[in-house]
A and B are shown apart, each in its own frame.
Chain A
Amino acid sequence: MSASALSVRNMVVAFDDFLALDDVSIDVREGESFGIVGESGSGKSTLLRAIAGLNSFESGSLTVAGTSYRGQTRSKDFYRTVQMVFQDPYGSLHPRQTVDRLLLEPLAIHGFTDVDVRIARALDEVGLGSGFRFRYSHQLSGGQRQRIAIARALILEPKILLLDEPTSALDASIQAEILNLLEQARKDRGLTFVMVSHDLGVISHMCERLTVMRKGKVVETVSVDALENRAFSEDYTRALLVASEGFRRD
């Protein structure tokens, strides 16, 4: 069994009186692709945001690559290891910065010097040519924007990628392209994925294990093989599975 890449123990996140995460624990192994599914309000995005330091957490522990973190403070090293891709490609890119500027920012923060080469390589890797380098995000389609967001995350050569519904705002055919791109990147760089989605089909395609969440709690954690063989124990997981098979008239 390979080493743990990321471990969350008994994490609690509260917004005033509301418990968004209630005693959640997950373990993600190095090189693994780990899925989190659940309906809106289940806490799946809050969990990713708490890991990334975008929300603070009240109690519990977070360990990433052997270092533990608390609250909302994250070191620079943390962001060299962990990067995040957000759901809405329209909202996650600065509207008044060119692609070049967007990709330059993480490099500048972390003190890279060979920026030109890196930006060109990053664009190339996500299937966009250098022709896109000096465009603004409003000149790009949704799929192209998501590619830029992925390039921005990968440009720092992280080990772990947090993916928050990376394809749910995209058309089905564009979704397939982005999923293929992510899989290729993972294969090439040996990345660890933590992927959040409400679509069980996407999670079972991309991941090896998954956690089902509901109302801020973990319902269960199963392997995708077990899911396919219906070897799970919770009714809620079954309900999600039935829902993902589409509408049926009885």
Chain B
Amino acid sequence: MSKLLTVDDLRVSFPTRTGQVDAVRGVSFTLGKERLGIVGESGSGKSQTGRAIMGLTPGHAKISAKTLAFDGIDLLSASASQRRALRGKRVAMILQDPKYSLNPVMTIGRQIIETLRTHENVSMKEGRARALAMLEAVQIRDPERVFDLYPHEVSGGMGQRVMIAMMLVCGPELLIADEPTSALDVTVQLEVLAILDKLVSERGMGLIFISHDLRLVSSFCDRVIVMYGGRVVEELPSANLAEAKHPYTQGLLNCLPTIGTHRHPLPVLERKPEWAL
């Protein structure tokens, strides 16, 4: 089976005043047309892994890998213009908070068309038609009206749908979703996830779903990678989550309060220094 994405021994480090901080320390995985979840706490390196694949690592950071290849293209040696051509077209990324990631001074419709016209030679008229179709695909009821709105005029859930629409309009093969629903209300979260799920399966994309919520990720993805301190501590199919061996994974699963179970006090994670070795 051909692999869409191969990541082998990815390392990302940031030079700081107090020495080098290693955010990602040797992460390896491959991805086909499947849903992969990356789970970890703040500072585990999960977002930096996603950003490195996308090519959004800040310029002063050091990044290295034995292999970092998307569909046979070596991403580390690719030129800036090659990466620009990939980004948005074949690899797309949904960010956490629509409030901060949409352009506040551009209408929603124009932003979607901008993405489209950057990568494809389409007329404004066709662009508009495709943007409207995409807004409809993310279940926005009145696409014509939303097209002319500014991001501050829509709710968080609607903003996140707009972002999904913008990212999928070019038909990417790989979608990286970095905490796509953490900024949304619980009830809206499920709607947005359902839309994302439908589109990903309909269009046969590879998905990397980055989140801190192990339960959510396991219900959404086929396979889960658990990260701690910049490393992968465990990789397992979502269905076998209950059989997780690493104490960190078990700890993450156990520390959530759930309805109907009474555990006082809640079990807390006892972090062992050897996990981060």
Interface residues of A (CB under 8 A from B): 39-40, 142, 171-177, 179-180, 183-184, 198-202, 204-206, 227-228, 239-249
Contact B193 A179 (CB under 8 A): no
List 20 additional A-B contacts (Cβ < 8 Å) besides A39-B185, A201-B256, A247-B220: A39-B186, A39-B187, A172-B213, A172-B214, A172-B252, A175-B256, A176-B255, A176-B256, A179-B257, A180-B268, A198-B186, A200-B259, A201-B257, A201-B259, A206-B257, A228-B259, A228-B260, A243-B186, A247-B190, A248-B219
Residues of B within 8 A of A (CB): 41-42, 156, 185-190, 193-194, 197, 212-216, 219-220, 251-252, 255-260, 262, 264-269
Q: How far is the CA of A133 from the CA of B204 in the complex (A)?
A: 55
Q: Which of A173, A227, A239 contacts B259 (CB 8 A)?
A: A227
B residues near A202, Cβ cutoff 8 Å: 257
Among B188, B193, B257, contact of A204 (Cβ-Cβ < 8 Å): B257
Q: Is there contact, CB below 8 Å, between A205 and B156?
A: no
From the candidates A179, A206, A243, name the one contacting B187 in the complex (CB within 8 A): A243
One of B42, B193, B257 near A171 (C-beta < 8 A) = B42
Closest 6 CB pairs of A and B: A205-B257, A176-B255, A180-B265, A173-B269, A39-B185, A176-B266
Is B265's CB under 8 angstroms from A142's CB? no
Q: A155 to chain B: closest CB distance in Å?
A: 23
Closest residue of A by beta carbon distance from B220: A247
Complex contact B255–A173 (CB within 8 A): yes
CB distance from B47 to the nearest CB of A (A): 13
A240-B187 in contact (CB<8A): yes
Q: Are the C-beta atoms of A246 and B215 separated by less than 8 Å?
A: yes
Which residues of chain A come closer than 8 Å to B251, judged between CB atoms?
A: 173
Whether the Cβ atoms of B259 and A172 lie closer than 8 Å is: no
Chain B neighbourhood of A171, CB < 8 A: 41-42, 212
A240 contacts B220, C-beta separation under 8 Å: no
Given A39-B187, A240-B186, answer yes or no on A205-B214 (Cβ-Cβ < 8 Å): no
The docked-state distance in angstroms from the alpha carbon of A239 to that of B185 is 12
**Cα–Cα, bound, A206→B269 (Å):** 19
What are 12 residue pairs bridging A and B, where the CB atoms are less than 8 Å apart in the complex?
A39-B188, A40-B185, A172-B41, A173-B255, A176-B267, A176-B268, A179-B266, A198-B185, A202-B257, A204-B259, A205-B262, A247-B190
